Structure 1
Amino acid sequence: MKSTVEHLSPTRVRINVEVPFDELKPNFDRAYRKLAQQIRIPGFRPGKAPARVIESRIGRAPILDEVVNEAIPTKYMEAVTTSELRAIGRPDIEVTKIEDGDHVAFTAEVDIRPDIDLPDFGDLSVAVDEVEVTEEEVLEQLDELRARFGTLTGANRPAQTGDFVSVDLTATVDGEEVEDAKTTGLSYEVGSGNLVEGIDEAIVGAEAGESRTFTTKLLAGEHAGKDAEVTVTVQSVKVRELPEADDEFAGMASEFDTIDELMADLRERLRRVKRMQQGVQARDKVLEALLERTEVPLPEAVLEAEVESRKHDAVHAFDHDEERLAEFLKSQDKTTEEFDAEVRADAERSVKTQLVLDSIAEKENVGVNDNELTERIIYQAQRFGISPDEYVKRAQESGQLGAIFADVRRGKALATVVRRATVTDAAGNAVDLEELFGRVEEPAEQPPVEEAPAAEIAEDEAAVGEGAANK
């Protein structure tokens, strides 16, 4: 097989391939066996007719079609591998010549990952928030814990913020009742903001048995984005009484004997959460700095595919009804043109991020071992509330296993950059992210895949590196 490569742009090539018929003998053998099973020829058992008899019966053209259709994908991949191209996306293939008995020629145009000049990671510098736990925050956590053990008692007064009410809801749009918005006996904490906008203001001051009507925009369902007249009827008002924050409560609500020990534990948990948040902030800011300092030509076909995928996801949320999507955008004071521009900008950033992180992973010899891949699968399965086996099955059916592998690899590549960047807090103090991203290591010349940096912190990176390429 002969192949040549024409560079059409920094992100696209045309591969010209010629395959001599001598290399296609296995393909012809499989084609004859396949066709022999499909046709019935008098005097021969199914699958036993000789090649010359099959040709005389159906002609040469169907056989050539079968051979070419089977051979081209394999020969295309051989050409890509031989030319050491980093092909991305689907190729546009065109058969240019079939000379029976001599050779088959075809061309394949495909996007490639461009060469990217990466900045020195050590020159990247970002500032993040300080880790500071206030006494007010600790008390807030304590109150939330006390609330879990609180009791509800009836309140013979109008509803106030923080009360728990039982309500009935009905809604109409243009005078017609919305069945999906109708409910009875719904328990709701006043002021939580977990229902439609305007309901808290309507409930506050209402007594049991009182109904109030307000106007709001529906956020989901058939009438998403439309104004609706909502009537809320308060059936009961209850107040939550919290247990005293003392040693007895500490023993009941935790493994600690005293309230001081419980408070200390809450303070440490908050510190760990804020450290994690600081790490996430460092990751995001380092990524932003990296992208700002890196020029990346974007493969057009890959970019357009990303744009179309995002538009499809957007309209899918409205049952593929573009008119409903347009109505929702209008309710958000956004035009279709503005929406399209935002989608394209997000797609450009996503594609650029993927290309940069893939280049870093290649440069730094970042690998993904079985444990890291398994941990990501378990993490994702828990997010979707399904078993790991079911998640893998769905990923295989949708062809997403490769994407999961790539996401883990990109997360590790980004962690490599974060470890080498300079990260300080708002006060100018150096931030030690070793707990989250591992210690700084210079890459060996050819490290084994299993010994890639940060393999020991894959569980944290499953959270911290999650979705880095989609930001």
Structure 2
Amino acid sequence: MKATWEKIEKNLGVLEVEVDADRVTAALDKAFNKVVRQINVPGFRKGKVPRSIFEARFGVESLYQDAIDILLPEVYTEAVDQTEIFPVEQPEVDIDQFAKGETFKFKAKVVVKPEAKLGEYKGLEVPKANTEVSEEELTAELERLQQRHAELVVIEEGTAESGDIAVIDYEGSVDGELFDGGQAERHSLELGSNTFIPGFEEQVIGLSTGDNKDVEVTFPEEYHAAELAGKKAIFKVKVHEIKRKVLPAIDDEFAKDVSEFDTLAEYKEDLTKQLSERKAEEAKANQENVVVEKAAANAEVEIPQGMVNTEVRNMMRDFDNRLRQQGMNLEMFMSFSGQTEADLQNQMKGDAEKRVRNNL
């Protein structure tokens, strides 16, 4: 295989590739083995049509696109490695030649990683590390651990409070008509989490198990579903259960449950040491980030929009994963926050560009 790279301008160039004819033959063989299982020819069982009969009936050209789809990704990757370029977007490919018994020739217009010209970076000031752990920080960490080890207990009597988990059915309607995504059964909603439409959770607070209530809300003007934006909605809500976090006491028993120590005093001493080490690691990482950000701010580099778009997609995927860990997903978040995917992407673009610049 021959591969050459010619830079056109800045971070754009053309990758020209020629692939040996024997690899074209191998790709056509694979394409035939794939296609022959999908066709019916009178007189032959499915998948048993001889190659000569197939080509006489359909033409070898009928295999070309499948063969290209098989061969192109493989040889493009090899050509990228051979020419030592760093693509940051999908290429624009033009096929120059593909035929049985011939070499495979194509050109790929490729956007590559730009070169960053560093500005002044020596002597940059960085914040000093403070690894001392205050009493407030130790208390906050203990309370965080206390929350993590809290037990969810079903409340038999009393009303729902902020922070409780309400297990509810809901059915939403606008002008008396049900709408897509407005219904759910036995949905666990943390009151005060602000994951539902503004005003919804506040009206569930104060309800008891078995209660039914019509919750009236108004969709935000910028709601992603245009047909619901700004509309008033009524949700018929039924409360099945109310669960409340019961926090364990922070004492010697707590220390035994969450650590290898027998007393709270011993655990506090060890936890203080852990927090100090964590602060030292965070301080070091922060110092490195400050240097990189300052150096990046002084650097001369033109960032391809494709790199920013890719980073935004990565950030959206990470955000969706975090939501799923909380029992939600991106679609639910957009539904209840009134934001569209485009809104979220626009919010992330600034950070995405900053990340790309720092990485370069």
Same fold (TM over 0.5): yes
What is the alpha-carbon distance in structure 1 between the residues aligned to residue 86 and residue 14 of structure 2? 13
What is the alpha-carbon distance in structure 2 between the residues aligned to residue 211 and residue 57 of structure 1? 69
Q: Within 5 A, what are the aligned runs for 1:312-461? A: 317-318=330-331, 328-329=338-339, 341-354=346-359, 356=360
Q: CA distance change for structure 1 residues 68 and 214 in 2, over 3 Å: closer, same or farther?
A: closer
Q: How many angstroms does 1:35 deviate by?
A: 4.0
Aligned to 1:82: 82
Q: Of 299, 305, 326, which aligns to 1:294?
A: 299
What is the alpha-carbon distance in structure 2 between the residues aligned to residue 67 and residue 111 of structure 1? 25
Q: Of 22, 26, 31, which aligns to 1:25?
A: 22
Which letter does structure 1 place at the counterpart of 2:299? T
Q: How many angstroms does 1:95 deviate by?
A: 1.5
Asked if the contact 2:217–2:232 (Cα under 8 Å) also holds between the matched residues in 1, the reply is yes
Q: How many angstroms does 1:24 deviate by?
A: 0.5
Q: Within 5 A, what are the aligned runs for 1:51-450? A: 58-59=58-59, 61-62=61-62, 70-97=70-97, 104-118=104-118, 123-127=123-127, 130-139=130-139, 180=184, 256=261, 260-306=265-311, 317-318=330-331, 328-329=338-339, 341-354=346-359, 356=360
| Cα offsets for 1:19-78 (capped at 9, x unmatched) | 5xxx303532663586489387999x957666xx77555545346666655554444344
Which letter does structure 1 place at the counterpart of 2:28? A
Q: CA distance change for structure 1 residues 216 and 292 in 2, over 3 Å: closer, same or farther?
A: farther
Which letter does structure 2 place at the counterpart of 1:87? P
Q: How many angstroms does 1:11 deviate by?
A: 1.9
Structure 2 length-normalised TM: 0.57
Structure 1 length-normalised TM: 0.46
What is the alpha-carbon distance in structure 2 between the residues aligned to residue 12 and residue 240 of structure 1? 60
Aligned to 1:364: none
| Cα offsets for 1:230-285 (capped at 9, x unmatched) | 9999x99x99898696x788778865565543443343343334334434533543
What is the alpha-carbon distance in structure 1 between the residues aligned to residue 189 and residue 56 of structure 2? 78
Q: CA distance change for structure 1 residues 239 and 339 in 2, over 3 Å: closer, same or farther?
A: closer
CA RMSD of aligned residues (A): 6.2
What is the alpha-carbon distance in structure 2 between the residues aligned to residue 193 and residue 9 of structure 1? 50
Q: Using CA pairs under 8 Å that are at least 6 residues apart, name the structure with larger relative contact order, 1 or 2.
A: 2
The reply on whether 1:13 has 2:13 as its aligned counterpart is yes
What is the alpha-carbon distance in structure 2 between the residues aligned to residue 215 and residue 174 of structure 1? 10
Which letter does structure 2 place at the counterpart of 1:17? V
Unpaired runs of 5+ in structure 2? 321-328
| Cα offsets for 1:201-223 (capped at 9, x unmatched) | 9979x99xx99999878999x98
Share of identical aligned residues, percent? 21
Asked if the contact 2:21–2:101 (Cα under 8 Å) also holds between the matched residues in 1, the reply is no
Asked if the contact 2:293–2:358 (Cα under 8 Å) also holds between the matched residues in 1, the reply is no
Asked if the contact 2:88–2:306 (Cα under 8 Å) also holds between the matched residues in 1, the reply is no
Q: How many angstroms does 1:110 deviate by?
A: 1.6
Unpaired runs of 5+ in structure 1? 357-471
Aligned to 1:464: none
How many residues are aligned here? 329
Q: CA distance change for structure 1 residues 137 and 202 in 2, over 3 Å: closer, same or farther?
A: farther
Q: How many angstroms does 1:107 deviate by?
A: 1.4
What is the alpha-carbon distance in structure 1 between the residues aligned to residue 161 and residue 269 of structure 2? 33
What is the alpha-carbon distance in structure 1 between the residues aligned to residue 305 and residue 264 of structure 2? 61
What is the alpha-carbon distance in structure 1 between the residues aligned to residue 248 and residue 316 of structure 2? 48
Which letter does structure 1 place at the counterpart of 2:287? A
Asked if the contact 2:87–2:110 (Cα under 8 Å) also holds between the matched residues in 1, the reply is yes
Aligned to 1:402: none
Q: CA distance change for structure 1 residues 128 and 102 in 2, over 3 Å: closer, same or farther?
A: same
- Match of 1:298, SS? coil
